[in-house]
Every structure is written in structure tokens, then in C-alpha cells.
Structure 1
Amino acid sequence: MAIKDKLAELKASLPAGVRLVAVSKTYPAEVVREAYDAGQRLFGENRPQEMDAKRQQLPADIEWHMIGHLQTNKVKLIAPYVSMIHSVDSAKLLGVINEQALKNNRVIDVLFEVHVAREESKHGWNEGELIAYLRGGEYRQMQGVRFRGLMGVATFTDDGSVVRDEFMRLNGLFSRLRHDFFGRDFDTLSMGMSGDYLQAIACGGNMVRIGSLIFGARNYV
């Protein structure tokens, strides 16, 4: 099936109000261009260097989202243009994003990445750490970032009840932070990938990150 047909089928499965991040990591620019030509404008990458290389080869109206683990020394590569960073997993990283955004006269949308999965290898704040950080109030001084919501990755498992519980926990925290700290501009809950996006949506997710269902199996070589 052609990419344009896969995209059309996928978008037809998404309820109104759910945004699709086409995860283009490892796929070459010409493949990304096929999705662009089919109408997709929002793409997610895991590595700053790969994102930057593709950006220079593709149309300027693409909205680039950084969805992978981000090292502080790489923020400057993407700060001039990135639309949203999903993977803010520490106060240190948040501070660097704010600093680089101000240097570029920009305000960058960010999501707090929260660790909800059972795998220790996954990144993110735990709930207690994040709430303690927000209660400290330091984030209120940051003029270069706009706090838009949360991102999380569920456990890689065939047990749907585990995945559902993790997504519901993330949604509960999202609602709590929106009520206690941020208000209505805190509006994005990024969760769900190719294998679990329908569950994520059922649990309140309104942004899904999908790659292989659009572009096919990845070649990591």
C-alpha cells in the first residue's frame, strides 16, 4: 500500500481533535516527502542531527517535533526552528531549552515526559518529582517555553490492561497538573504509538506518534 493510502486509512481512524505526529526517524527525506505530498505536515524525529538534515532537504512549512531523548548540548541545533519538544525529562534540560529559545527570540512549546512504563530504560520524570518541581515555582520564570502538556510511553507488552492502566495514570496526572498549575493552555497529552494508539486515544490521548504504520518497517542498519 502506498504511503498516501496508509496515511488516509490511519487518519480515518483518528477522532476529531487527535493530532498525528508522523514519526519519520530513520526514514530518508524522499520517503518523508511522500507523506508531505499526501498532506501530512507534522513530523517527529528522535535525533537532532537527523532532524536538522531532513529539515534542510524538505519544505519549510513542516512542523518538526522532537520526540526522542534530548541531550542538553544538542538543544542549540534545533532551537531555531523546532515546534515542540515532547521529551523534557529534567529541570536541567528545561532550563537549557528556555535559554536557547530566548537566544533565538522564540517561545518553544514543551511537554513534560513522564515515566509510566515498567521498563527502567525509558526516560521521564516520576510523578512525585514532577509535582515537587512545579511546586517549587522555578518554571514560572521561564519566558522561552510554553508548557503544553505531557508525553509518555507505555510498557511494551501484549497485556492490554497494563497499557491501559499506564495511559489512565498519565491522563490523571495531566488533568491534575492542568487544574493545579497551568490552566487551559496545558492541552496536549501525547501518548500512543503504532501498536497502542487506539488504546491511548480511548484513555484520553489527543496526540499520537506513529511511524511504521505509515512508512513500513524500519531499517536501523
Structure 2
Amino acid sequence: MGVRENLQQVQERINAAAARAGRDPAQIKIIAVTKQVQVPEIKEVVDAGIVDLGENRVREMTGKMTELPPEVRWHMIGHLQTNKVKYIMGRVELIHSLDRWNLAEEIDRRAGKLGVKMPVLVQVNTSGEKSKFGLSSGELPDFLAALADLPNVAVKGLMTIAPYVDNPEEVRPFFRELRLLAQKFNLKHLSMGMTNDFEVAVEEGADMLRLGTVLFGSRIY
């Protein structure tokens, strides 16, 4: 199947998951993950109505920016190095992966130079996996309190990456924990759910889904 057909099936699955949770599917945004996807394929998903695109690497993102329509909204979803912040500041809709203080300071500094307030999500490692970036749930309160003193950083919500498992039900507690944290700190957005587990994420409150393989097919990373 092509990208458009894949998208239609994904939307049907999102609608069903939203219905199970009593949610409005219109409030759930698909972010198409375009890592190692060629521009013609990306244009297919944009033509089908998905204009929010997520990239893991700054170089790949900036290389594609000039080749895609201006209505595209770019999301930085991968681990962000401080020395790469300058290349995306003012060019991305949202940084999903704020996970440490020196990165927050650099975002604040660069945003201040441009006179913008940069929207970010704080990455939380709800599963506790050592291989994943992100703050622990226990570190989050002090981190959010400190971020409040940075005038050019706007915290919009939280992000997490669940473990890859055969049974998506196993990751439900990690998504639920993120939702409860967002509620506790009155944060609006939850970026969680990928190809393997996005229906569970929808049921647990995700409003941003980072979807790659289910839209574009498997890629060799």
C-alpha cells in the first residue's frame, strides 16, 4: 500500500482508540517521522494532509526543509545536542526532547537572541530504561520549577518513549504515568505513542503521536 492508504488505516485505528477512551480524535495530531524517508515520499504524506513532520537529527531536518512546502511544521523529536540548537531555533514548531539543564539554557539563550519564545516538551523516562534519555519522574518537579525562570522557554507538555515490546499493553503504565504527571503540573500536551503502541497511547491521553514505519514502511536505520 501507498502512504495515503497507510494514513487512512492509521486514522481509522486512532478514531477507534479515541472512541474507546471517550476522546475526540480531532484533538490528536499525527507527527510523521521522516527519519531516512526520501523527499518524494514525504511529499505524499504532506499532500494527504499531514503537515507536522518529526526528525531525529538536525542535519537531516535542515536538509529537507528547503525541499518541502512552507506549510510544513517541523518537530525536533530526537536527542538534541546543545551545539545544534542554533541551526533549528526559529525554524521548528516544537522541541519534544528537552532532557537536561544545559540544553534548556542554550535554548533560552538562542531564543532570546532571536526575540522568540521557544515551545518545548520535557522528556521523561517513565520506564526507567538506562538506554533512554529523559528525566526521571522524581526529577521533574525541580526541573519544571527551574524552567519557569527561563524567559524564552515555554513548556507546553511532556514526552516519553516507551520500551519496544511485543504486547503494547505492557507499556500502558508508562503512558499513564506521563498523563498523571502532566495533569499534576497542569501541562496540556502529551507526545507519546509510536508505530508499535500508538493506540494504547491514545487511550491514555496522547495528543501527539510520532509515527514513522506505520506510514512509510520499514527503513534500515
TM-score w.r.t. length of structure 2: 0.91
Where does residue 151 of structure 1 map in the other structure?
Answer: 159
Deviations along 1:65-94, one digit per CA (max 9) or x if unpaired, are 000000100000100311100000011111
User: How far 1:53 moved relative to its partner?
Assistant: 0.3
Opposite residue 88 of structure 1, the aligned amino acid is L
User: How far 1:141 moved relative to its partner?
Assistant: 2.6
Where does residue 109 of structure 2 map in the other structure?
Answer: 99
Q: Please say if residues 150 and 189 of structure 1, whose CA atoms lie closer than 8 Å, have aligned partners that are also in contact.
A: yes
Q: Please say if residues 3 and 216 of structure 2, whose CA atoms lie closer than 8 Å, have aligned partners that are also in contact.
A: yes
Residue segments in structure 1 that go unaligned for 5+ positions in a row? 179-185
User: How far 1:118 moved relative to its partner?
Assistant: 4.4
Residues 1:200 and 2:210 are matched in the alignment: no
Where does residue 57 of structure 1 map in the other structure?
Answer: 67
Residues 1:81 and 2:81 are matched in the alignment: no
Where does residue 38 of structure 2 map in the other structure?
Answer: 28
Where does residue 183 of structure 1 map in the other structure?
Answer: none
Distance, in Å, in 2 between the alignment partners of 1:16 and 1:119 is 32
Where does residue 189 of structure 2 map in the other structure?
Answer: 188
Distance, in Å, in 1 between the alignment partners of 2:164 and 2:97 is 18
Distance, in Å, in 2 between the alignment partners of 1:161 and 1:23 is 23
Distance, in Å, in 1 between the alignment partners of 2:114 and 2:182 is 29
> Alpha carbons of 1:117 and 1:138: their partners in 2 closer, same or farther (altered >3 Å)?
closer
Distance, in Å, in 2 between the alignment partners of 1:131 and 1:138 is 9
SS in 1 for 2:200: helix
SS in 2 for 1:127: coil
Q: Please say if residues 125 and 132 of structure 2, whose CA atoms lie closer than 8 Å, have aligned partners that are also in contact.
A: yes
Distance, in Å, in 2 between the alignment partners of 1:96 and 1:141 is 14
Deviations along 1:148-204, one digit per CA (max 9) or x if unpaired, are 0000011112244430111111111111111xxxxxxx3100100001000011111
Where does residue 19 of structure 2 map in the other structure?
Answer: none
What pairs with 1:4-43 in structure 2 (closer than 5 Å)? 4-14=4-14, 15-43=25-53
Where does residue 119 of structure 1 map in the other structure?
Answer: 129
Distance, in Å, in 2 between the alignment partners of 1:156 and 1:123 is 15
Where does residue 18 of structure 2 map in the other structure?
Answer: none
SS in 2 for 1:141: coil
Distance, in Å, in 1 between the alignment partners of 2:163 and 2:94 is 24
SS in 1 for 2:27: coil
Opposite residue 195 of structure 2, the aligned amino acid is S
Q: Please say if residues 28 and 207 of structure 2, whose CA atoms lie closer than 8 Å, have aligned partners that are also in contact.
A: yes
Where does residue 79 of structure 2 map in the other structure?
Answer: 69
Q: Please say if residues 33 and 58 of structure 1, whose CA atoms lie closer than 8 Å, have aligned partners that are also in contact.
A: yes
Opposite residue 134 of structure 2, the aligned amino acid is G
Opposite residue 163 of structure 2, the aligned amino acid is T
Moved over 4 A (4+): none
Q: Please say if residues 118 and 155 of structure 1, whose CA atoms lie closer than 8 Å, have aligned partners that are also in contact.
A: no
Percent identical across equivalent pairs? Answer: 38
TM-score w.r.t. length of structure 1: 0.91
SS in 1 for 2:148: helix
SS in 1 for 2:138: helix
Residue segments in structure 2 that go unaligned for 5+ positions in a row? 15-24
Q: Please say if residues 152 and 190 of structure 1, whose CA atoms lie closer than 8 Å, have aligned partners that are also in contact.
A: yes
Opposite residue 101 of structure 2, the aligned amino acid is A
Residues 1:214 and 2:198 are matched in the alignment: no
What is the total number of aligned residue pairs between the two structures? 211
- Aligned CA-pair RMSD: 1.4
SS in 1 for 2:173: helix
SS in 1 for 2:26: coil
